[in-house]
Amino acid sequence: MKMTGKDYIRIDAYEKVTGRAEYMGDLVHKFPDLLYVKGLRSPYAHARILRLDIQKASRLSGVRAVVTGENAGVDWGKFPQQSRMAVTETLWAGQTVALVAAESLEEAKRAIEAIEVEYEPLEHVLTWQESFCERPKSVVDPKLPIHQPGKPMHFPYPNVAGEFVQQKGEIEKGFLEAAVTVEGEFWTEKRVHSQLERAAALCAYEKDGKFTMWCNGCGIHGVVKKALAAAFPQIPYSDIRVISPYTGGSFGNRNIPYVELPCFLMALKTKGTVFYEFTREEMFTAAPTNWVCATKIKLGADAEGRLTAKELRLIEELGAAAGNEAYTGRLSGSSTANTYSVPNVSFLGCSLLTNTVPAGPYRGLGTPDAIFGLELLMNELAEKLHMSPLEIRLKNIILRGEEDDYGEEITSIGVAQCLQQAAEAVELSVPCVQDGSEWLYGKGIACCGKQNGPNGRSEADVLIHHDGSIEVRVSCDNHGMGVSTALVQIAAEELSVEPKQIRLVIGDTDRTPFDNFSASSSGLYRTGGAVRIACRDAKRQLQEEAARMFGIPAELAEIRENRVYLRGTYVKSVPICELFRPLSMFEQDVWGLKQGTPVRGHGVFCPAQAVPWDEKGRTPRMWNWFQYAASAVEIAVNQKTGQIKILKIANAGDTGSPINPKIVEGQLEGAAHMALGFTVQEQLLYDENGKVKNASLGDYRLPLILDMPVNENVKVCICPDPLPDGPYGAKGMSESVVSAVGAAVAGALYDAAGIKADHYPMTAEMVLRLLEEKKAVHDEKERRQT
């Protein structure tokens, strides 16, 4: 029975469309004695706290606790940066200065207003341009470990937090062999994930002294519970229970438990049940953003268009991620290393701090930002060599079995197919017709790859009950991407039953087995792997029982369609439910399968670990596998206003073999919309104090549905190259598919108007400026000629 590769209806569809699905906001009404938490936030990007007086606030009616960085009684070093409260100094505007728990939200707000703070504003740096220098106005973290005396740095700047170097071949030789070279500098801006459901946590201090937390954070075991246990070492690990209700999106934002930890702290302080939910404004000012990438790239190619050399400098701007050594520019840089085969490579990356909210992963982990310039330079090479952007890409992509820049073998790569299908969908080879209006028309294409780290561990339990019902228990994240349905399909395929026979139990650390988190597009791959193993474990137990009952070797029993098929005995098959014997109250010696005690299969899956890289940054195993995508667009650019209109978009993804193609198509469409938003119009803006000044959905220009091309002009293509070690050939897909859109739009902008974008978002103002600059150059030329 084939249950994967099919458009099975989402298992959560009915609950969601009927409004029965419960989210964080629905839980609030179940706790009559709920306390509400509210944070006081720094209005300055960088300031010293001279005086902080909570006396008045503490005495207000309904106030149960007022906590400051000083009196919290915790080690802030054990908290993720985004959840650290300021003690003597604030490092970003929006950092928590005090927390209040009160009997109503109104009382909590009043208490916040009654807290008296005196700040001494200090100099701040908000952008990579301000921070990446020898003498920045503000040094965000003076104690960075990388700045040890005698330790040579490539960028000896005080706000540089980490570095990564990679070398392959000989870069000078590569450029000598080049017939043409191109180079450029590119960067991107800050954006927010804008998931529909705001960050929220509800923590109950139970009668027996244990804690139960409901939250919409990722990784209930591997992130939330682990972080709580680390930050509050006095609480025994098993006294913490974390439950995930239905959640409304994350896109990387909820990989950091920035609301869970303060919520737990307030439950501990009040010994009550507390609820902490960010406002939409706080989602802009106090929740992690993406990190910005700035790149300086030089490419060389021979006369046939084959890349000979790639030199890349990359800055990853992380905000005020003080004390974090995990970031070195390597994560964003990895996306520039896996798509094109280049014999000579020199990569130098670094991470950089500023006085903005500490960044977190944003769908793509820096891929859209890092590859933007690389993809635009591929277009420039093509132009110089009189090739098409499609042709030059196809000529240089890595083939299955070849190596990436790290030196590891690529086992699944469908990017060529993605490129071809995306190009076809917008008829890339047919030039746009200009109609003489104020609109100019153009087409563009780009592609990309995104790595998946071999980190984490997923477990699954599969219970087969005597009545034939099947339960799958997992703890992977379920933010709406559709993994829950795909896991049910995987179990259905393994057990050869209809998906509707399977019930998925998900997201409760007391009941569902361990899972790290589903980051890096790995939910399906990793948890799916565990479900398969668990199903096989359960099947094996049934086979063994059948073998015992009928006196045959276990391998002669086959489980499918709710029956055991037997060979070598007088019975051809029996229903599985008949393997379970009734169990009476006084029966003795009750071994074997009994009614009421399900067969319990357990599966653990973790990818093989990476091998440490050598001094050249190379290793035979670093990233596990890669997802690929290509996007092509047709756009119109208004010569008078600079506005870009997207007329057509084709988004093609190498998703491995899709378990549920319909859900994958939905992801491809959603990704196109999201990426068009952040590459064309979304951007965080800061005022003179470093505070976000467009902190609302009114002023932050998240695209609306009417900003998108009509449905028939949004084309999606699934181009699978099956992943050998993925469940039924599947791999993750949701990050690569947002990553090539920006470069495709910029390519189309050049095709339409002959202007080159060096950063995004490509707002109307920016495009108009480029158009004016081009006109000025043109006018100047004409003036000289006459």
Partner 1 sequence: MYFERYERPETVQEASALLREERESRILAGGTDLVPRLKSGAWKTKMVVDLSRLEELQGVRYTKRGLELGAMVRLAALQEERSLQGAHRLLGECAGHVSSIQVRNMATIGGNSCNASPSADTAPAMLLFNASACIRRGDTEYLLPMDEFYMGAGRTALEQGDILLRFVIPKQPEHTGAAYYKYSIRGDSDISIVGAGAKLVLEEGRIQEARLAFASVSAKTIRIQEAERMLLGQEPTKELFQEAAVLCAGLCAPITDQRASESYRRKMTKVFAEKALASAFRRISGI
Q: Which residues bind partner 1 (CB under 8 A)?
A: 106, 109, 640-641, 643, 681, 685, 693-694, 698-699, 701, 703-704, 706-707, 763-765, 768
| Shortest Cβ 696–partner 1 spacing (Å) | 9
| Shortest Cβ 259–partner 1 spacing (Å) | 20
Q: CB count, 10 Å around CB of 768?
A: 18
In sequence order, what are the residues at sequence separation of 6 or more whose Cβ sits closer than 8 angstroms to the Cβ of residue 472?
A: 460, 461, 462, 463, 487, 488, 491, 502, 503, 504, 505, 531, 534
d(CA 488, CA 497): 10
In sequence order, what are the residues at sequence separation of 6 or more whose Cβ sits closer than 8 angstroms to the Cβ of residue 622?
A: 334, 406, 408, 451, 610, 611, 613
Q: In the complex with partner 1, which residue's Cβ is closer, 701 or 756?
A: 701
Encoding tokens for residue 113? 């207003």
d(CA 765, CA 763): 5
Q: CB count, 10 Å around CB of 42?
A: 26
Tokens 């106030």, located at residue: 63
| Shortest Cβ 707–partner 1 spacing (Å) | 6
Q: In the complex with partner 1, which residue's Cβ is closer, 7 or 699?
A: 699
d(CA 473, CA 508): 9
Q: In the complex with partner 1, which residue's Cβ is closer, 510 or 765?
A: 765
| Shortest Cβ 216–partner 1 spacing (Å) | 23
Tokens 């477990």, located at residue: 459
Q: CB count, 10 Å around CB of 375?
A: 26
d(CA 685, CA 682): 10
Q: In the complex with partner 1, which residue's Cβ is closer, 589 or 688?
A: 688
Q: In the complex with partner 1, which residue's Cβ is closer, 118 or 699?
A: 699
| Shortest Cβ 704–partner 1 spacing (Å) | 5
Q: In the complex with partner 1, which residue's Cβ is closer, 640 or 783?
A: 640
Q: In the complex with partner 1, which residue's Cβ is closer, 308 or 681?
A: 681
Q: In the complex with partner 1, which residue's Cβ is closer, 109 or 774?
A: 109
Q: Identify the H or E element spanning 176.
A: helix 171-176
d(CA 346, CA 175): 11
State the amino acid at position 235 in one-letter form: I
Phi-psi region of 568 (alpha: psi -120 to 50; beta: other; left: phi over 0): left
In sequence order, what are the residues at sequence separation of 6 or more whose Cβ sits closer than 8 angstroms to the Cβ of residue 739?
A: 335, 364, 367, 368, 371, 448, 450, 629, 675
Alpha-helical runs (H) found in 356-499: 367-384, 389-396, 415-425, 483-495
Q: In the complex with partner 1, which residue's Cβ is closer, 384 or 645?
A: 645
Q: In the complex with partner 1, which residue's Cβ is closer, 507 or 642?
A: 642
Q: In the complex with partner 1, which residue's Cβ is closer, 562 or 643?
A: 643
Q: In the complex with partner 1, which residue's Cβ is closer, 62 or 323?
A: 62
d(CA 188, CA 207): 50
Q: In the complex with partner 1, which residue's Cβ is closer, 94 or 360?
A: 94
Q: In the complex with partner 1, which residue's Cβ is closer, 303 or 706?
A: 706
| Shortest Cβ 768–partner 1 spacing (Å) | 7
| Shortest Cβ 246–partner 1 spacing (Å) | 24
CA geometry: angle 265, 268, 270, nearest 5 deg: 110
d(CA 91, CA 238): 34
Q: In the complex with partner 1, which residue's Cβ is closer, 106 or 587?
A: 106
Instruction: Tell me if 214 sits within 8 A of 243, measured CB to CB.
Output: yes
| Shortest Cβ 684–partner 1 spacing (Å) | 10
d(CA 275, CA 727): 39
d(CA 769, CA 775): 10
| Shortest Cβ 494–partner 1 spacing (Å) | 46
Q: How far is CA 432 from CA 321, 377, 427, 647, in A?
A: 46, 22, 9, 11
Encoding tokens for residue 450? 């995104």
Instruction: Tell me if 541 sits within 8 A of 508, measured CB to CB.
Output: no
Question: Coil, helix or strand for 642?
Answer: coil
State the amino acid at position 676 in one-letter form: L
| Shortest Cβ 317–partner 1 spacing (Å) | 21
Encoding tokens for residue 164? 């990564």
Instruction: Tell me if 765 sits within 8 A of 784, measured CB to CB.
Output: no
DSSP state of 435: -
Q: How far is CA 202 from CA 57, 383, 770, in A?
A: 23, 56, 49
| Shortest Cβ 61–partner 1 spacing (Å) | 13
d(CA 238, CA 228): 11
Residues paired with residue 452 on neighbouring β-strands, in sequence order:
624, 625
| Shortest Cβ 765–partner 1 spacing (Å) | 5
| Shortest Cβ 284–partner 1 spacing (Å) | 11
Encoding tokens for residue 722? 């099956």
